[in-house]
A and B are shown apart, each in its own frame.
Chain A
Amino acid sequence: MKEKKAVISVVGKDQVGIIAGVTTVLADNDINILDISQTILQDFFTMMMLVEIKDPEKMEKLQLDLEEIRNRMHLKIDVQREDLFQTMHRI
Chain B
Amino acid sequence: MSLAFQEIQETIRMIQMEKLDIRTVTMGISLKDCMDQNPAVMRKLVYEKILSHAGTLVQEAEIVSEEYGIPIVNKRISITPAAELLGTSTVEDAVELAKTLDKAAAAADIDFIGGFSALIHKGAARGDNVLLDALPRALSETARVCGSVSVATTKTGINMDGVKKLGEVIKEASERTADSNGIACAKFVVFCNPAEDNPFMAGAFHGTGEQEVVLNVGVSGPGVVLNALKRYPDADLGEVSEVIKRTAFKITRAGELIGREVASRLGIEFGIMDLSLAPTNAMNDSVAEILEEIGLEQVGTHGTIAALAMMNDAVKKGGAMASSYVGGLSGAFIPVSEDNGMIKGIEDGSLSLSKLEAMTCVCSVGLDMIALNGDAEASSISGLIADEMAIGMINKKTTAVRVIPVPGMKEGDMAEFGGLLGRAPVISLNPRSPEKFIRRGGRIPAPLQALIN
Interface residues of A (CB under 8 A from B): 1, 7, 9, 34-35, 37, 39, 46, 48, 50, 59, 78-90
Could you give, for residues 278-310 of chain B, a 1 whenever the CB lies within 8 Å of some chain A CB and a 0 otherwise?
000000000000000000000000000000000
Partner of B254, one of A9, A39, A48, A87: A87
Q: How far is the CB of A65 from chain B (nearest CB, A)?
A: 16
- The reply to whether the CB of B257 lies closer than 8 angstroms to some CB of chain A is yes
Contacts of A81 in B (CB 8 A): 67-68
Taking the complex as formed, is B445 at the interface, i.e. its CB lies under 8 A from any CB of chain A?
Answer: no
- Given known A7-B8, A9-B12, A88-B11, contact A50–B67 (CB-CB < 8 A): no
Contact with A along B1-34 (1 / 0, CB 8 A): 1111101111110000000000000000000000
Partner of B3, one of A7, A46, A59: A7
A38-B250 Cα distance, complex, nearest whole Å:
24
Chain B hits for A9, CB < 8 A: 8, 12
Q: List chain B residues, Cβ under 8 A from A1.
A: 67
Assess A39 versus B5: contact at CB under 8 Å? Given A1-B67, A84-B257: yes
With A37-B1, A78-B69, A82-B3 already in contact, 10 other A-B pairs whose C-beta atoms are closer than 8 Å: A7-B3, A9-B8, A46-B9, A59-B67, A84-B258, A87-B253, A88-B253, A89-B4, A89-B7, A90-B2
Chain B's nearest CB lies how many Å from the CB of A67? 13
Contact across chains for B69 and A85 when beta carbons are under 8 A apart? no
Which B residues lie within 8 Å of A39 (CB)? 5
Q: Does B70 contact A (CB under 8 A)?
A: yes
* A37 with B5, Cβ < 8 A, contacts A1-B67, A80-B69, A84-B68 known: yes
**Do B5 and A48 have beta carbons less than 8 Å apart?**
yes
Tell me, rounded to whole Å, the shortest Cβ–Cβ distance linking A8 to chain B: 10
- Name the residue of chain A whose CB is nearest to the CB of B251: A88
| A84 in contact with B7 (CB, 8 Å) | no
Which listed residue (A7, A50, A79, A84) contacts B70, Cβ 8 A? Answer: A84
- Flag if A80 contacts B67 (CB, 8 Å): yes
CB distance B3 to A50 under 8 Å?
yes
Chain A: which residue is nearest B69 at the CB level? A80
| 30 A–B contacts from the bound complex (CB under 8 Å) | A7-B3, A7-B8, A9-B8, A35-B1, A46-B9, A50-B1, A50-B3, A78-B12, A80-B68, A80-B70, A81-B68, A82-B3, A83-B257, A84-B11, A84-B69, A84-B258, A85-B7, A85-B8, A85-B11, A86-B3, A87-B254, A87-B256, A87-B257, A88-B7, A88-B11, A88-B250, A89-B3, A89-B4, A89-B7, A90-B2
Residue of B nearest to A84 (CB): B68
Interface size on B, residues (CB 8 A): 21
Residues of chain B lying within 8 A (CB to CB) of residue A83: 257
Q: How far is the CA of A59 from the CA of B68 in the complex (A)?
A: 12
Q: A37-B1, A84-B254 are in contact. Are A79 and B7 (CB under 8 A)?
A: no
What is the CB-to-nearest-CB distance from B4 to chain A, in angstroms, rounded to a whole number? 8
Q: How far is the CB of B297 from the nearest CB of chain A, in Å?
A: 34
CB contacts (< 8 Å) of B9 on chain A: these are 46, 48
CB nearest neighbor in B for A48: B8
Across the interface, do A79 and B3 meet the contact criterion of CB distance under 8 Å? no
Q: Considering the complex, which residues of chain B in the window 49-102 have a beta carbon less than 8 Å from any beta carbon of chain A?
A: 67-70
- Point out the residues of chain B lying under 8 angstroms from A59, CB to CB: 67
**Bound: A35/B68 CA distance, A:** 19
Type the 1/0 row for B343-381, where 1 means its CB is closer than 8 Å to any CB of A. 000000000000000000000000000000000000000
Residues of B close to A90: CB separation below 8 A: 2
User: CA A41 – CA B25 in complex, angstroms?
Assistant: 36
Nearest CB of chain B from residue A66's CB, rounded to whole Å: 12
